[in-house]
């Protein structure tokens, strides 16, 4: 199986869908949750998954937003997998929160775990592009702030699905609909270990799933009828 074969399969499918996971983002320099660095507050250290939790966000909003900027907004660029996926014009369900499929031009996307590049103003309920300081400063709502962090910490909610948050029900049902209606599911760079999305994929007929990743894990061994393609994305997706 190579990139050309995959493109032919997509063209002959009625309703193909692509599912992406952390492996696609790490190529862009976004660390995955297990290797992401946490932080320390007054000698107490928090792992990344603790920082990405609702209780932490509520207790230390400013620290959260400071850390968030470093992790998700700096030095992140599209890679050739995003570009290839956008060219296929196929609906995408992603576990990644970096917004890169959107930036690459994919139009139908379910961002299952939310969005790191967008915040929600809790005064006017508009979405704010967090990569744009001017956009953040347009949400001072009559008060004076010295910097964007203060605005964010004061009244902007993260659009990341934090640990302790529920998956957005519209995203959940859309993903479920697309997967069950699909006759070809291509999984790229996901370990299929993070639920509930992994469950939604794995409950589909194995024969319609192609799963591309650099290593084969125990989930792949449990589903021998899934067409597993072991490949390095840098080589597989030639551009």
Interaction of residue 119 with Zn ion, rule CB under 5 A: no
Nearer to Zn ion, 82 or 155 (CB): 155
Interaction of residue 123 with Zn ion, rule CB under 5 A: yes
Nearer to Zn ion, 113 or 139 (CB): 139
CA distance 103 to 218: 33
Least separation in angstroms between CB 24 and Zn ion: 32
Nearest Cα residue to 91 out of 115, 107, 72:
107
Interaction of residue 41 with Zn ion, rule CB under 5 A: no
Q: Which of 59, 124, 181, 222 binds Zn ion (CB under 5 A)?
A: 124
Per-residue mark of binding to Zn ion, 139-178 (x: CB under 5 A): x---------------------------------------
Buried b (16+ CB within 10 A) or exposed e, 108-131: ebbbbbbbbbbbebeeeeeebebb
155 and 122 Cβ atoms separated by less than 8 Å: yes
Q: State how far Cα 176 lies from the chain centre.
A: 17
Interaction of residue 121 with Zn ion, rule CB under 5 A: yes
Nearer to Zn ion, 115 or 139 (CB): 139
Interaction of residue 113 with Zn ion, rule CB under 5 A: no
Sort residue 235 into left (φ over 0), alpha (ψ -120 to 50) or beta: alpha
Q: Which residues bind Zn ion (CB under 5 A)?
A: 121, 123-124, 139
């Amino acid at each position: 199986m190579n990139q050309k074969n995959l493109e032919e399969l997509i063209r002959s499918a009625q309703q193909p869908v692509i599912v992406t996971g952390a492996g696609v983002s790490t190529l862009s320099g976004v660390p995955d949750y297990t290797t992401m660095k946490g932080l320390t507050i007054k000698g107490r250290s928090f792992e990344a998954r603790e920082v990405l939790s609702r209780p932490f966000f509520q207790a230390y909003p400013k620290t959260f937003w400071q850390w968030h900027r470093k992790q998700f907004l700096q030095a992140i660029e599209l890679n050739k997998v995003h570009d290839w996926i956008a060219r296929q014009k196929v609906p995408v369900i992603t576990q990644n929160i970096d917004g890169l499929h959107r930036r690459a031009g994919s139009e139908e996307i379910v961002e299952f775990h939310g969005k790191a590049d967008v915040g929600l103003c809790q005064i006017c309920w508009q979405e704010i592009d967090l990569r744009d300081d001017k956009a953040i400063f347009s949400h001072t709502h009559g008060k004076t702030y010295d910097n964007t962090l203060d605005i964010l910490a004061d009244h902007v909610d993260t659009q990341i699905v934090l640990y302790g948050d529920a998956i957005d029900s519209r995203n959940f049902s859309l993903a479920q609909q697309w997967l069950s209606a699909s006759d070809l599911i291509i999984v790229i760079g996901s370990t299929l270990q993070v639920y509930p999305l992994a469950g939604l994929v794995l409950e589909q007929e194995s024969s319609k799933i192609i799963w591309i990743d650099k290593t084969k894990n125990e989930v792949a061994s449990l589903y021998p009828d899934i067409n597993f393609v072991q490949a390095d994305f840098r080589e597989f997706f030639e551009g």
